[in-house]
Amino acid sequence: MRQELEAQRQELVRSSTVTFHDMRDREREPRDSIDESNDEQGNATELRLKDRERLLLAKVNDALYRMDTGDYGVCEECGVLIGEARLRARPMAELCIDCKEDQEREERRLHASRPGMFSALE
């Protein structure tokens, strides 16, 4: 698990570095207004994806920290051991499957009770 998480962390950092350099290099190229508009739209999408990767990187780092402290594989909500199958599928899991399902049900309930409130975040 540690090797998988470290490899994932390395790939996320590499991807972030490549994106930064690509975006910087594109800014140096001569462009017309249509190219600039397309680049801005592409950059916005790319930055949204990179933000998701940044959040994933934080989860990977947190999982590695939990390994170091001996808390890895223990549900942060109820304290039971997280199943091996779940950890293999999602090595950075913080919750057991039951607590995760409860969390997702609560999120759906909140989302359904407040239509439109989360649309700006999605």
The count of domains in the chain is 2
Range of the domain at 36: 1-71
Written as one string, the DSSP assignment of 54-115 is: HHHHHHHHHHHHHHHHT-TTB-TTT-PBPPHHHHHH-TT--S-HHHHHHHHHHHHHHHHHST
Share of the chain above pLDDT 90, in %: 57
> Do 96 and 56 share a domain, yes or no?
no
The pLDDT value recorded for residue 4 is 94
DSSP code at position 78:
T
Residues 42, 48 contacting (CB under 8 angstroms): no
> Do 16 and 29 share a domain, yes or no?
yes
**pLDDT tens sequence across 87-103:** 999 999 999 999 999 99
Record the pTM. Answer: 0.71
Residues 75, 95 contacting (CB under 8 angstroms): yes
**Distance between CA 116 and CA 103 in Å, rounded?**
20
| Domain C-terminal end among 52, 71, 90 | 71
The pLDDT value recorded for residue 61 is 97
The pLDDT value recorded for residue 21 is 65
Total residue count of the chain as it appears in this document: 122
**Distance between CA 57 and CA 120 in Å, rounded?**
24
The pLDDT value recorded for residue 80 is 97
**pLDDT tens sequence across 1-33:** 999 999 999 999 888 887 766 666 666 666 677
> Do 82 and 110 share a domain, yes or no?
yes
Residues 96, 37 contacting (CB under 8 angstroms): no
Decide which of 63 and 47 is more confident. Answer: 63
Share of the chain above pLDDT 70, in %: 81
The pLDDT value recorded for residue 64 is 98
